[in-house]
Amino acid sequence: MQPVLLDTSVIVAWLNRRDQYHERCVAALAGTRQPFATCEAVITECCHLMHSIPAAIDKVLENLADGTFQAPFRLTECAIAVQELMRKYRDLPASFADACLIAMADQLNTGNILTLDRHFRHYRWRRNRKFNLLIPLD
């Protein structure tokens, strides 16, 4: 079963009850049966953005530890690809975490992603494949 990629925006909204997209993200995560795959860059962003909510950081790390969130991406194997993606999408711009997720899509052969980031409408995996945004963006 192919995993669903998990972006920072969804994790943060899922764990922050005050986020305007909280309910939407809770429902999306609960309704997804495939495994969740993310990367350490996303986890780093989450921990930075939720520094004032220690329980949320604990939850992110617990989900990694128990396997709910898988982190199969190895930057050392994809550093040049990530660099090329950041250059390609410099005008948007693509964050480091976004570029890692795009490289992960190539690596895991999936464009299914849970994100609130509109840039993923423009990003392409495997050069020309559109991402399948599993949360409709307004």
pLDDT band at 138 (very low <50, low <70, confident <90, very high): confident
The residues, any chain, with a CB within 8 Å of residue 11's CB and separated by 6 or more, are: 38, 42, 46, 60
The verdict on residue 11 lying in a domain is yes
The verdict on residue 81 lying in a domain is yes
pLDDT at 1: 85
Q: For the sheet containing 112-114, what is the strand order?
A: 69-70, 36-37, 4-6, 112-114, 132-133
Quote the CA–CA distance of 8 and 111 in Å, as a whole number: 16
Number of domain units in the chain: 1
CATH at residue 71? 3.40.50.1010
Taking only the tens place, the pLDDT of each residue in 121-132 is 999 999 999 999
The verdict on residue 46 lying in a domain is yes
Quote the CA–CA distance of 109 and 55 in Å, as a whole number: 33
The verdict on residue 25 lying in a domain is yes
Quote the CA–CA distance of 128 and 122 in Å, as a whole number: 10
Taking only the tens place, the pLDDT of each residue in 57-116 is 999 999 999 999 999 999 999 999 999 999 999 999 999 999 999 999 999 999 999 999
Taking only the tens place, the pLDDT of each residue in 16-56 is 999 999 999 999 999 999 999 999 999 999 999 999 999 99
The verdict on residue 66 lying in a domain is yes
pLDDT at 10 over 80: yes
Work out the burial of residue 21: count CB atoms within 10 Å of its CB; fewer than 13 is exposed, 13-18 middle, 19 or more buried: middle
The verdict on residue 8 lying in a domain is yes
Hey, is 95 helix, strand or coil? coil
The verdict on residue 138 lying in a domain is no
Range of the domain at 58: 4-133
